[in-house]
Structure 1
């Protein structure tokens, strides 16, 4: 691809294309799953807009401000999902890419996806919680997440982002 034609594509498209062509099969898989998860989250947020607006109509400025935060919330969720392919593509462009680094970036991406699931467990209202599975460790973990105060729901994604950044910085 020539330098001129490369400028026509977005950073996200180039990152996804390089992630899919990575030497690491795990990064290839993560790139596809991460893009699908990002599209799913974006779809959920778009579908949430009418309900969000309905809830805040006729309310004060604080609720109107919270309506404006919906796109930012989406960006805060989608950006870390696309970060591992972006970092891998940046490393490939610099010539410092390796299969090991791509593998570690993919693992950190999957860890972020898992952190989103943990956030859903912690923040789920009591009336919508399913019983914990009978699998010994998994059931105990789900019960632990249910027992946490919902205010701690923000912690797992923050830890997931820190892991992605740490892998990118430390994996040389």
Structure 2
């Protein structure tokens, strides 16, 4: 791929569970969709001992973030390790994995940055920055989706026949 191109469009190919969401939906392939996202998934597979398609929480990284935040690593880590691991290192690996699996490819680190983070350079700063963005995103989500108790389902009292008629 020419280094000036930001992506190429292809028929979707790859390992189930490792395919980045944007590649799956658009067919546009980039370094960050092919390499970085898949690497994050692979890290979580190594940590949990489960395949991506067998582990529903890999699809919803909020569960992983929650367990990480609550320091409940034992619920994430492969039980075959029999608690023989360094918690701080596993925590850092999960952080790297989550940074690699961010929803937007533009927010994901480059593989060169991933390597540096694994070597202990820049992970804490990148993680703190991402946490701040996540808090802001959650606040915006809450503000833009206020309680919907006042919403009424206009189809509630309609018969099935009425619902299937063109409008």
Fold conserved between structures, TM > 0.5: no
Higher Rg: 2
Q: Which has the higher contact order (CA 8 A, sep 6+)?
A: 1
Higher helix share: 1
Q: TM-score, normalised by structure 2?
A: 0.35
Q: TM-score, normalised by structure 1?
A: 0.34
